Structure 1
Amino acid sequence: MEDRIRTTITDGVADVRLVRSDKMNALDDAMFMALLETGEKLKSDSAVRAVVISGEGRAFCAGLDMSNFGRMASSESAPAKESSVTGRLAPRTHGIANRAQYAALVWRDIPVPVIAAVHGVAFGGGFQVALGADMRFVAPGTRFSVMEIKWGLVPDMAGMFLMKGLAREDIIRDLTYTGRIFEADDALAYGFATRLCNDPYAEALSVAREIADKSPSAIRAAKRILNDAPDNDAAAILLAESVEQDKLMGGAHQKEAIMANLEKRRPNFGG
């Protein structure tokens, strides 16, 4: 897995780096599996308080490896092995998703905030992986594309679902039907970029460290509310706020947050 993704954890911040830089971090089967394995490990690591995902080299992720398209065109079947994410896609392997979809959705299931630091290009599947993060910090000049239509395909890594939570439907249709490349400024205007940064990796790490200094219980509760409350269901969202707040009030992390503020010191939330 380390020839595709390397992860280091320091002071509660998981630094996840796509390291297939010679291929602009393109998604081959090994990269898909590395994304899944990394995400699954982080989901269960209670010491992790924030995650940054980025790509080494010239790009965040250039999308599906070109060799996969060659195999499709020649009608070659994918290797028949349990670890493969290629092949038939309709069977559900991860709850409501298949393996390829979960390579993007797993970042939503990690119970702490995930920041994607995006530079170079984020095309096709790479764009969809970035969409799975809570936030996207983007370098000026970064290019994006919902590129699947170029290859006679539709977005199939949860892109349709994830885009709907961020941009207007007519914009999503425009980008999906045309596959046109759009720039960082457009991504910000559309709602796909959270902020533009000259050094998105450094800024993402800085924000992740800031989050890691907040109450872990409150951060996880906030992500649960944002993930789980149905859109436009005011009653469900209001109830979720109240249920989570009841759990937090008077707890050890909340008391420490209060004392740290009153004593003007850095909080110590323990392991």
Structure 2
Amino acid sequence: MKSESIHDSSNEYNYRNIEVVRRDNVITVALNRPDKLNGVDMVMFDELIDISRRLKRDRQLRAVILTGNGDNFSSGLDFSAMMANKRFAAQLLVKVWPGSANRAQQVSANWRALSIPVIAVIEGYCWGAGLQIALGADFRICSPNANLSIMESKMGLTSDMAGSLGLREVMAKDQAMRISMCATQLDAARALELGLITEIHDTPMQAADDLCQELALKSPDVTAAIKHIYTRYWTAPAWKLLAYETYSQIRIMLGQNFKQAQKGLRNKTAASFKSRQKYW
């Protein structure tokens, strides 16, 4: 059994290979094939894409927690399930245009597009496709027993699920290339040293909950703006970053949540924030 269970709540979402549970304004999305070490199959691809798109439209949400049921985040792609149908590979890789995200890439890239923080809680194996999904999160909190690897080169492939977007932001290029080329397995301590993960915690789900509570005290408009500043413009030319900073600040100051933040400061009380502004 996992050291910490997914939050108890009625499951309002009907999925087969992921479990989605809402508690207040936090959603937990758990990969739910524990008997297969949460190996990613075609159903899971489609369900992760569907839930990420649904959550993008929910302006009341404050955070998403990504995890895996059982003792592991994910051992990677379920090759036996994916090879059962020769059309699956084409369905995953086809694109509308070269710069768009295909189905394989959306399970990582879609989390980056949300206007709320996404926290990956990682225990046990986080290999291949599993790590690609986790790299779409903004924070990765691991248990001490976590084992992480960009495993694709071992299978004669390159990683192609958009995890490189997150990887280039958190690791030095030479280190990222090395662990990708060599399919290096990293324990939690080494992953933290390289910048691949955010934190090691004996009870990572509790640490994620604590972070969600801390984030809930801040304006959702500010949180959204900061996420997009860093996600969209981290590697952009300086003028784009500066322009978006100014744009974001003006939009924040014109919104209701800025007034609520100022009211809370004046009264020395917690601010009562409204839903996130529509434009984020």
Q: What is the TM-score with the length of structure 1 in the denominator?
A: 0.90
Distance 1:8 1:32 in 2: 18
For 1:128-147, what aligned pairs fall within 5 Å after superposition?
Answer: 128-147=132-151
Structure number with greater CO (CA < 8 Å, separation at least 6) is 1
User: CA separation in 1, counterparts of 2:93 and 2:123?
Assistant: 32
Tell me whether 246-255 or 90-99 shows the greater mean CA deviation: 90-99
Match of 1:256 in 2: 260
Q: Which has the larger displacement, 37-46 or 4-13?
A: 4-13
Query: Aligned equivalents of 2:46 and 2:246: distance in 1?
Result: 38
Which secondary structure does the structure 1 equivalent of 2:213 belong to?
A: helix
- d(CA) in 2 for partners of 1:232, 1:87: 32
User: 1:121 Cα deviation (Å)?
Assistant: 1.1
Q: Which has the higher mean CA deviation after the structures are superposed, 231-240 or 110-119?
A: 231-240
Match of 1:39 in 2: 52
Q: Aligned AA for 2:224? A: R
Does 1:49 find its partner at 2:62?
Answer: yes
Does the 8 Å contact 1:120/1:143 carry over to 2?
yes
Other structure's SS at 2:170 match = coil
TM-score normalized by the length of structure 2: 0.87
1:87 and 2:90 equivalent? yes
Tell whether 2:32 aligns with 1:19: yes
- Equivalences for 1:212-251 in 2 at 5 Å? 212-229=216-233, 231=235, 233-251=237-255
Partners of 1:142 and 1:184 within 8 A in 2 = yes
1:187 aligns with 2:200: no
Deviations 1:118-157, CA, capped at 9 Å, x for gaps? 1111000100100000111111121011111111111111
Q: Distance in 2 between matches of 1:28 and 1:158?
A: 17
Deviations 1:166-214 (A, max 9, x none): 1111111211111121111111111111111111111112211221231
CA shift, 1:264, in A, is 2.5
* Aligned structure 1 segments of 4 or more residues deviating by more than 3 angstroms: none
Aligned Cα RMSD in Å?
A: 1.9
The 8 Å contact of residues 92 and 98 in structure 1, kept in 2 or not, is answered as: yes
Kindly indicate whether the alpha-carbon contact (under 8 Å) linking 2:93 and 2:104 is maintained by their aligned counterparts in 1: no
Residue pair 1:25, 1:60 contacting (<8 A) in 2 also: yes
Percent identical: 33
- Residue segments in structure 1 that go unaligned for 5+ positions in a row: none
Residue-pair matches, total: 261
Distance in 2 between the 1:88 and 1:269 partners?
42
Residue of structure 2 equivalent to 1:118: 122
SS of 1:41's partner is helix
Q: 1-side partners of 2:81 and 2:172: how far apart?
A: 31
| Farther off after superposition, 126-135 or 206-215 | 206-215
Query: Within 2, Cα distance between the matches of 1:243 and 1:31?
Result: 37
Q: CA deviation at 1:265?
A: 2.1
Q: Output the amino acid matched with 1:131.
A: L
- 1:78 is aligned to 86
Confirm or deny: 8 A CA contact 1:230 1:236 kept in the other structure.
Answer: no
Unaligned ranges ≥5, structure 2: 1-13, 276-280
